[in-house]
Structure 1
Amino acid sequence: MSATQPVDESVRVRVPAKINLSLAVGPARPDGYHDLATVFQAVSLHDELTATWAPPGEVVVKTVGPYADRVADDEDNLACRAARLLMDRHGDGGAWGAHLLVDKGIPVAGGMAGGSADAAGALLACAALWDLDLSPADLRELGAELGADVPFPLLGGTAVGTNRGDELVPVLGRGCFHWVLALSDEGLSTPEVFARFDELDTDPDAPRVPDELLAALGTGEATELAGCLHNDLTAAACDLRPDLARTLELGTRYGALASLLSGSGPTVAFLTAGESQAMDLAHTLRGELGTDAVRRVRGPVSGAKLLQVLR
């Protein structure tokens, strides 16, 4: 591909949010990170990203959608950084560029890897736009350089994550799980949550994924999975945001099989027995919380996916 490519070429991709079915956190490492053992599940809440051919060396991003006012469209935007990393590693002498349009449906700073999903989407979209011969594993390796959560939205489905959460092994499971998400108007800083975790738990165990959780995923039964959900960051997040404790309790009071903080929060996920139960719970929570920021989703869903390529 050369700089003479027509400017109306574009690629559109869809990228999922994630929840953590289990998140075990180890002690802080010398590099400042924590060893993690987590199980990711991709759910049907998405961002869409469109990459359009731009003048050589130019990478800009514009965010639209319900969370656009919480995103900085500058060089530090993860989608922009992803495109530039791809250009630096595989660029044709600076002959490529991209305009990135992000339609944001995943909450910002919500513990659902919204920024990481945009980086994953930018990697896939720009690789297709620039006609790069890169494998999914190549893109995930680049994604890990941008952030620990970036590789998973490229993979999707359900997967075990170790090290910082970036080393992934797919999990074979059965069935479809129905979740209700209680979103928050105010995000939580992941570094702040981990810092509070270090203050509250000065001697955490070595992280591991529970065998019973993997077995429950194999059955496809929501009732089996409900007893295995866990997040080591819950106490730290609730200490920073005491209102989360009430939200976690509300779901189970009104029929959820289990409640779970997603990642570092503040999104709370409620596992239900099925689709009709999810509909009932979502309706009740909207009334109890006094907000429309409640979503029904299902999982697992596929990872980053090409929707449209215009040549």
Structure 2
Amino acid sequence: MSTTAQTPASVTVSAPGKINVSLQVGPLRPDGYHAVASVYLALSLREDVTATAAPKPGIAVSVTGGGPLRIPVAGIPLGPDNLVARAAAALAEHVGIADPAVELTITKRVPVAGGMGGGSADAAAALLACNLLWGSGLDAAELRTLAAGLGADVPFALEGGAAVGLGVGDLLTEAPAGTPLHWVLVASSGAGLSTPAVYGRLDALRSEAESGGADPAPEPYAADPRVLEALRTGNAAALADVISNDLQPAALSLAPELVPVLDRGRALGALAGIVSGSGPTLAFLAADAASAAHLEAALRSEGHNALAVHGPVAGAQRTASKT
């Protein structure tokens, strides 16, 4: 670790939301977790976290909504359990800052509890922002170690791009990606979905199926090679045939109002549609940028909270400070 002679008064870092282009989920383990084989794709919808030196010790968190998806922020916890506060506290402890004094302002653009890792993006952004604000000098490997302690998706938000996640999603391997792929996101107009609730519903559905004679879910040990090849070549049509999400039946069971939206997106020209992670955000794959823009406009004209995005994009990175 090194310390710089001068540190800035404020640092803003952005980090990307993500979708799971492919998500295989194994059976419930004795420790309460599920092994997964996931293919992550970082998207151009990004969160901002601004870290500002505070006049007295403490980690203060505030949040504002931003961006075209009109993300509501009421009810987001702002205490020490917020991931950005935990990220700042973890970094301070790691580098020996006994009484950190920082104000952390989150600009939310990724749907809250939407299956896109918005909280993980916030944590990644906070780690990098505080590292720069305090002149801590941690390198990428050290930041990744801290990120892994905050949640399975946080290391990917630091790295960005495309990656395969194994284990509980935290064992990351970079996945080569070709030309950008274009998507249209539709944020739910209702409440978000709890990730534990969706996994719990998945377990219940599987138990019911197994009692009727179905085979147990297999342990996932590798990502679908067809998905990786489509990503590598940037072939949207090929990817449309193989994207999948084992959590989708559970998410749709808990939020059945998503089913007609999925059907409508496909009818309007999407190559494929999928629930993003644990939902309820939907991601529609488009053939190209023009097709994504057309689909966004069509969905918006019908009252849906839609946005065209692309990926892969870079992970957490410093941006111009807010004024």
User: 1:287 Cα shift?
Assistant: 2.8
Does the 8 A contact of 1:258 with 1:270 survive in 2?
A: yes
The answer (yes or no) to whether the contact 2:50–2:321 under 8 Å persists in 1 is no
Instruction: Give the drift of 1:56.
Output: 5.8
1:114 alignment partner, one of 118, 122, 137: 118
Structure 2 counterpart of 1:144, from 145, 148, 155? 148
- In structure 1, which of residues 293, 297, 301 is the aligned counterpart of residue 313 of structure 2? 301
Match of 1:181 in 2: 185
Please state if 1:153 is matched with 2:157.
yes
- What stretches of structure 2 of length at least 5 have no aligned partner? 66-70, 208-215
Aligned to 2:63: 63
Matched, 1:102 2:115: no
Q: Is there any run of 5+ residues in structure 1 with no aligned partner, and where? A: none
Tell me which moved more, 101-110 or 127-136: 127-136
2:229 alignment partner in structure 1 = 215
Equivalence map 1:184-203=2 (5 Å): 184-185=188-189, 186-202=191-207, 203=216
Q: 2:257 matched to 1:252?
A: no
Partner in structure 2 of residue 54 of structure 1: 54
- More divergent stretch after superposition (152-161 vs 242-251): 242-251
Quote the offset at 1:278 in angstroms.
Answer: 0.8
Could you tell me how far 1:54 is from its partner in structure 2? 2.1
Would the aligned equivalents of 2:51 and 2:105 in 1 still touch at CA under 8 Å?
A: yes
1:89 matched residue in structure 2:
94
State the secondary structure of the residue aligned to 1:14: strand
Task: Write the distance in 2 (CA, Å) between the matches of 1:239 and 1:122.
Answer: 34
Number of the residue aligned with 2:78: 73
Distance of 2:96 and 2:28 partners within structure 1: 36
Whole-Å separation in 1 of the counterparts to 2:167 and 2:55? 38
- Measure, in 2, the Cα distance between the counterparts of 1:28 and 1:87: 35
Q: Count residues in correspondence.
A: 305
- Alignment partners' CA distance in 1, 2:310 and 2:200: 31
Give the superposed CA RMSD.
1.9
Matched, 1:275 2:255: no
Cα distance in 2 for residues equivalent to 1:91 and 1:56: 17
Distance in 1, matches of 2:77 and 2:99, equals 26
Would you say the 8 A contact 2:79–2:85 is kept in 1? yes
Write out per-residue CA displacement over residues 259-281 of structure 1, whole angstroms, 9 at most, x where no aligned residue: 11110000000000011111111
Q: The residue matched to 1:174 in structure 2 has which SS?
A: coil
How big is the shift at 1:95? 4.7
Shift of 1:299: 0.5
Looking at structure 2, the residues matched to 269 and 19 of structure 1 have their Cα atoms a distance apart, in angstroms, of 8
Normalising to structure 2: TM-score of the pair? 0.90
> Following TM superposition, where does structure 1 have runs of at least 4 consecutive aligned residues deviating by more than 6 angstroms?
none
Percent identity (aligned): 47
CA distance in 1, matches of 2:164, 2:120: 17
Per mean C-alpha deviation after superposition, the further-off stretch among 60-69 and 263-272 is: 60-69
